[in-house]
Amino acid sequence: MRFTIFQESRKSQRKVNQDRLAYTYSRDTLLLVVADGMGGHAGGEIAAQIAVRLFIERFQQEAKPTLKNPLKFLQDTMLRAHSALGSYANQFSMLETPRTTCVSCIVQSNYAYWAHAGDSRLYLFRQGGLIGQTKDHSKVQYLLDQGIIGAHEVVDHPDRNKIFSCLGGLVDPVIDLSRRTPLRNGDIIVLCTDGLWAVYPQEEIARALTGTPILKACPALMREAEVRGGPDGDNLSLIVVRWGPETLTDEPTTTITETMGLGEFQTEIDRTLTLTDRKGVQRDLTDDEIERAIEEIQATIKRYRR
Amino acid sequence: MGVTNQALPSGYQLLNYRIDRQISRGGFSIVYRAFDDSTAPVAIKEYLPSSLVLRTEGDIVRASSAENLTSFRYGMKCFFEEGRALAKINHPNVVRVLNFFRANETVYMVMRYERGRTLQQQIQLRQDQMSERLVRHVFMHLLNGLREVHTHKLLHLDIKPANVYLRTDGSPVLLDFGAARQTLTSTRPKLAPMYTPGFAAPEQYRDPDRLGPWTDVYGIGASIFACLAAFAPQAADARVTEDHLVSAKKIWAGAYSENLLEVIDWCLKLDPLERPQSVFALQKAIRDIPPKRRKLTFLGNLKKRLFTEVM
């Protein structure tokens, strides 16, 4: 596989970042996941974190190096995350179950598959045009579909945060699965939370990402989104993948997976801003995290030993 | 006189390494020379921030308060960043990490031991100006190493003569990735940035979103400048308000090739977009116009070869 990838999350003006995002890939399969947690105290962060971790862990158990059934994998993992959140709430007798939206995408053998619950989105662009997108499980989307409100009313609607499907919570989630969608070189997959899509019309995202190296365009998108978010700016999260071998503009940032061994995975979890609060106070590393970091470094040293 | 952290004593057995002596002591660590099982020398970096006195005797590192422990663990993240960054890179011009482990309640990074001195020492030791030939030799190799670093989606972010080691054979090794950041997956630096005035690019002070290969390119330009001048260029934050930096082309006209001087000035542009955008672009610029050379006679050629070998 060859692709160029960008991933970033920003807290913006909120006290905490309840968004989590990650990607991981084996030699032949790529997984992207974005979750936007909800709920008081640390609930939202925990929910998003649990969902993303579960995706990564299951992927690494099952993608050896491909998934037998990507859509089933997506659906099963979402359902497992949903029940994991329920048990977590039980275990700690939480008054409110931690909840999270989730959108996840798998690319395998030049096909994309995706699933979502809630209002975190996926867009698929080809040559600047939209060829696929998720439909929010939200009240405003419903109102829009019914013709009760117009498209221009969505962003400022008082009920814009109301969603009817998410992982965690009392009712089972509605999970939408995509078709098996063939990808062409140069196709762009975008996963983002509402903090980002609320400040950009879809056409503007398409325009920004077309013809510009994504590793240049995406940081600019994030910067501008934070400005547009204003003093009450929401958490912003974005994963963008440009599929296919490097083009002139992206060279030499393309990820090439052909040289990876079977059973080998590369993972990036964006924990960037989650350990820091606004004042820059740092959270402690736990013993567990230290051990993990050391293991990871040792494994890397071995991998790159000639 | 404050109390300082105690270094591990000579002869101390650290896992399968025997400590020989302390080589250097920095803000966050002590570096030792040690020998491994097969008595080959290695350099071991011990994470031990000097601002926190954590070891006044013995070997175990102990935080004296909860607050200290928090700072200690926080700094450890930087140390891990460095380990992560270096572990991926196997290149003759980049310091090689051999092992990474936890002991004495802190963490250690084992690196290949190199003989020689830093470019900083080289600059300070030399009475006369550094020759263009040496500058080109050092930086062409160094840029190969830096290119490898960037290929791994990492930025060094603290390139300066003190972080470039010259082996006894004259080949450079890029050291100290304490400031290195995984960049292309998350454009925000994960930890409070550190910069060295004079060598840090303006965007490192105020615009972390704009860090990129061009940021290291600024450090390269400043380092070449320092080789010629024996001092660092004006700090970038000061340059932004009032730029007193005289162009290399003016200062050293005639003493060095126009090409080299132009490259220095190009690397030191304040606007990141005006600098070479990649190491490759920079290498190409340096290579494009080779310095004017006198035709060498057979003897001159032989002399040159011998000199190169001695260097």
How far apart (Å, rounded) are the C-alpha atoms in residues A29 and B35?
A: 43
pLDDT, residue A44, reads 87
**What backbone torsions phi and psi does residue B80 show, to the nearest 5 degrees?**
-65, -40
How far apart (Å, rounded) are the C-alpha atoms in residues B117 and B125?
A: 10
Interval B102-131 mean pLDDT: 88
In which residue are the tokens 């947690």 written?
A37
Right CATH number for B13-112 from 3.40.640.10, 3.40.50.10860, 3.30.200.20, 3.90.76.10? 3.30.200.20
A223-227, A228-232, B40-44, B204-208, range with the lowest pLDDT = B204-208
- Is residue B173 scored above 90 in pLDDT? yes
- Is residue B220 scored above 90 in pLDDT? yes
Three-state SS string across A102-139, please?
A: EEEEEEECCEEEEEEECCCEEEEEECCEEEEECCCCEH
Which letter, b or e, does each residue of B69-82 get, where b requires 16 or more Cβ atoms within 10 Å of its Cβ?
ebbbbbbbbbbbbb
Q: What percent of chain B is modeled with pLDDT above 90?
A: 46
Q: In the numeric block, which tokens belong to residue B255?
A: 């003493």
Query: A238 or A274: whose pLDDT is higher?
Result: A238
Element (H, E) at B41: strand B41-47
- Is residue A159 scored above 80 in pLDDT? yes
Neighbours of A79 (CB within 10 A): 15
- Is residue A251 scored above 70 in pLDDT? no
How many domains, in total, are found in chain A? 1
**What backbone torsions phi and psi does residue A187 show, to the nearest 5 degrees?**
-65, 145
pLDDT tier at A255 (50, 70, 90 boundaries)? confident
- Is residue B248 scored above 90 in pLDDT? yes
Q: Considering CB atoms only, which of A6, A253, A300 is closest to B87? A: A300
- Half-sphere exposure of residue B171, counting CA atoms within 13 Å on the CB side? 13
Q: How far is A193 from chain B (nearest CA, A)?
A: 16
Interval B103-119 mean pLDDT: 90
Q: Best interface-test mutation with B: which of A248, A279, A304 has the largest number of B CBs within 10 A?
A: A304
pLDDT, residue B182, reads 43
pLDDT, residue B159, reads 92
Q: Considering CB atoms only, which of A7, A290, A301 is closest to B76? A: A290
pLDDT tier at B236 (50, 70, 90 boundaries)? very high
- Give pTM, 2 decimals: 0.51
pLDDT, residue A248, reads 53
How far apart (Å, rounded) are the C-alpha atoms in residues B11 and B20?
A: 6
- Is residue B291 scored above 70 in pLDDT? no
pLDDT tier at A280 (50, 70, 90 boundaries)? very low
Q: Which of A170, A175, A36, A34 is nearest to A94 (CA)?
A: A170
- Is residue A253 scored above 80 in pLDDT? no
Check which CATH number belongs to the domain holding A51 and give it: 3.60.40.10
Q: Which of B244, B85, B262, B270 is nearest to A296 (CA)?
A: B85
- Is residue A153 scored above 90 in pLDDT? no
Q: How far is A187 from chain B (nearest CA, A)?
A: 19
Q: Which of A105, A108, A52 is nearest to A80 (CA)?
A: A52
* 8 Å CB contact between B112 and B43: yes
pLDDT, residue A282, reads 41
Q: What percent of chain A is modeled with pLDDT above 90?
A: 50
Q: Which residues pair with A9 in a beta bridge?
A: A237
For residue B70, the chain A residues in CB contact (below 8 A) are 282, 284
pLDDT tier at A306 (50, 70, 90 boundaries)? low
Asked whether the beta carbons of residue A253 and residue B184 sit closer than 8 angstroms, the reply is yes
Q: In the numeric block, which tokens belong to residue B173?
A: 């090794």
pLDDT, residue A125, reads 97
Residue A223: closest C-alpha in chain B: B209
Interval A28-46 mean pLDDT: 87
pLDDT, residue A116, reads 97
The average confidence (pLDDT) of chain A is: 86
Amino acid at B147: R
A60-69, A143-152, B174-183, B248-257, range with the lowest pLDDT = B174-183
Instruction: Give me the domain span that covers residue A55.
Output: 2-303
Residue B207: closest C-alpha in chain A: A223
- Is residue B35 scored above 80 in pLDDT? yes
Please list, in sequence order, all residues whose beta carbon lies within 8 angstroms of the beta carbon of residue B62, skipping any fewer than 6 positions away: B54, B55, B105
- State the DSSP code for B88: T
How far apart (Å, rounded) are the C-alpha atoms in residues B304 and B50?
A: 46
pLDDT, residue B301, reads 58
The complex's ipTM works out to 0.70
pLDDT tier at B185 (50, 70, 90 boundaries)? very low
pLDDT, residue A191, reads 98
Q: Which of A45, A9, A273, A276 is nearest to B70 (CA)?
A: A276
- Tell whether A223 lies on the interface with B, counting CB pairs under 8 A: yes
How far apart (Å, rounded) are the C-alpha atoms in residues A296 and A298?
A: 5
**What backbone torsions phi and psi does residue A266 show, to the nearest 5 degrees?**
-120, 130
CATH of domain B116-288: 1.10.510.10
pLDDT, residue B215, reads 94
How far apart (Å, rounded) are the C-alpha atoms in residues B24 and B47?
A: 12
Which letter, b or e, does each residue of A261-293 get, where b requires 16 or more Cβ atoms within 10 Å of its Cβ?
eeeebeebbbbbbbbbeeeeebeebeeebbeeb
In which residue are the tokens 């083009």 written?
A247
Asked whether the beta carbons of residue A297 and residue B84 sit closer than 8 angstroms, the reply is yes
* 8 Å CB contact between A200 and A121: no
pLDDT, residue B297, reads 57
Q: In the numeric block, which tokens belong to residue A203?
A: 């056409």
pLDDT tier at B218 (50, 70, 90 boundaries)? very high
**What backbone torsions phi and psi does residue B82 show, to the nearest 5 degrees?**
-65, -45
Maximal CA-CA distance, chain A? 64
B71-75, B164-168, B300-304, range with the lowest pLDDT = B300-304
In which residue are the tokens 């997976």 written?
A257
pLDDT tier at B184 (50, 70, 90 boundaries)? very low
Interval A134-149 mean pLDDT: 92
Q: Which of 69-98 (B) contact A at CB < 8 A?
A: 69-70, 73-74, 76-77, 80, 83-84, 87-90, 97-98
- Is residue A305 scored above 80 in pLDDT? no
pLDDT, residue A294, reads 87
Among positive and negative, which fits the CA dihedral A208, A211, A214, A220?
Answer: negative
* 8 Å CB contact between B285 and B223: no
* 8 Å CB contact between A236 and A195: yes
A20-34, A268-282, B58-72, B103-117, range with the lowest pLDDT = A268-282
Which letter, b or e, does each residue of B165-201 get, where b requires 16 or more Cβ atoms within 10 Å of its Cβ?
bbeeeebbbbbbbbbbbbbbbbbbbbbeeebbebbbb
pLDDT, residue A276, reads 31
Asked whether the beta carbons of residue A285 and residue B185 sit closer than 8 angstroms, the reply is no
Interval B281-304 mean pLDDT: 65
pLDDT tier at A273 (50, 70, 90 boundaries)? very low
Q: Considering CB atoms only, which of B83, B90, B209 is closest to A297? A: B83
Q: In the numeric block, which tokens belong to residue B185?
A: 């997956």
How far apart (Å, rounded) are the C-alpha atoms in residues B104 and B62?
A: 9
Asked whether the beta carbons of residue B70 and residue A282 sit closer than 8 angstroms, the reply is yes
